[in-house]
Amino acid sequence: MKKRSLGFSFIITGICLASSVLAAEKAQWGYSGPEGPEHWGELDPQFTVCSTGKNQSPVDLTGMVESELPPIVFNYQSGDNEILNNGHTIQVNYNLANTIRVDGQEFELKQFHFHSPSENTIEGQSFPMEAHFVHIDKGGNIAVVALLYKQGEPNVELEKSWALMPENSGDKKAIPRSISANTLLPKIRDYYRFSGSLTTPPCTEGVLWLVMKNFNTASKEQIEKFSHTMHHPNNRPVQPLNGRLVLK
Ligand SMILES: [Zn+2]
């Protein structure tokens, strides 16, 4: 019964957020050693698909198939939110109506968070950082917009979040109205599309992945600030495509 009532929260928070309530329900996991990605499937019966799944993320995007992908319709706005360090990532939570429309379906933005180095790679190329914008629709379906960062010019919009980055696991801070997820995304939003999973336990499949073709930049200092705060790389290794198509 308890499990059923928490089901929706699991889906929303599953990608990277382990809230205190949920952490008590599930096994500890990490990015190295006995709790590392190669062991996730054995750590908890709820994580089995991490090792048995055939549609896992991240992936190396390769062999892209030409396709007439319609534009994603973004409806993002500024609003109050919070930034937290959950030990696995730095995450900004949203509770306002920020939405995207894909395939005529509306998905609401729940949070965005970061990985360094990148989780997805493009034709074998890894990037120093990747952002995931996690959305969910009324039916519980998840869509993630992924953005890759190259090292380069300091990123002014990213700095608004970075300036508030909580240093210790479990810390969170309120964010004033000035941060819109909109300003973090590139202006041109062409994308690659494929079906995948959450990249953290429970590795739930059926996630719609929308990876921006255009990169953003972050300075060496900005990338290092994130990796120093995390104390470790927080990227799951790429998973086999197993015949999945990556559309472009
Ligand atoms: Zn992620």
Which superfamily is assigned to 2-230 in CATH? Alpha carbonic anhydrase (3.10.200.10)
**pLDDT tens-digit readout, 83-126:** 999 999 999 998 778 999 999 999 999 999 999 999 999 999 99
Q: So what's the pLDDT on residue 27?
A: 87
Catalytic residue IDs: 88
By DSSP bridging, strand 142-151 and strand 205-212 are: parallel
Q: Where are the alpha helices (DSSP H) in the chain?
A: 2-13, 20-25, 40-43, 49-52, 156-162, 220-230
Q: So what's the pLDDT on residue 80?
A: 73
Residues 114/130, Cβ–Cβ less than 8 Å: yes
> How many angstroms does the Cα of residue 4 sit away from the middle of ligand 1?
24
> How many angstroms does the Cα of residue 130 sit away from the middle of ligand 1?
8
Q: What share of the chain is helix, strand, coil (3-state, %, to 5)?
A: 25, 30, 45
Tokens found for residue 152:
């380069």
* Whole-prediction pTM: 0.89
> How many angstroms does the Cα of residue 91 sit away from the middle of ligand 1?
9
Cα separations in angstroms, 3 against 7, 13, 21, 141? 6, 14, 12, 19
**pLDDT tens-digit readout, 121-144:** 999 999 999 999 999 999 999 999
**pLDDT tens-digit readout, 209-248:** 999 999 999 999 999 999 999 999 999 999 999 999 999 9
Residues 35/28, Cβ–Cβ less than 8 Å: yes
Residues 212/189, Cβ–Cβ less than 8 Å: yes
> How many angstroms does the Cα of residue 203 sit away from the middle of ligand 1?
11
Sign, CA dihedral 126-52-195-114, equals negative
**pLDDT tens-digit readout, 220-230:** 999 999 999 99
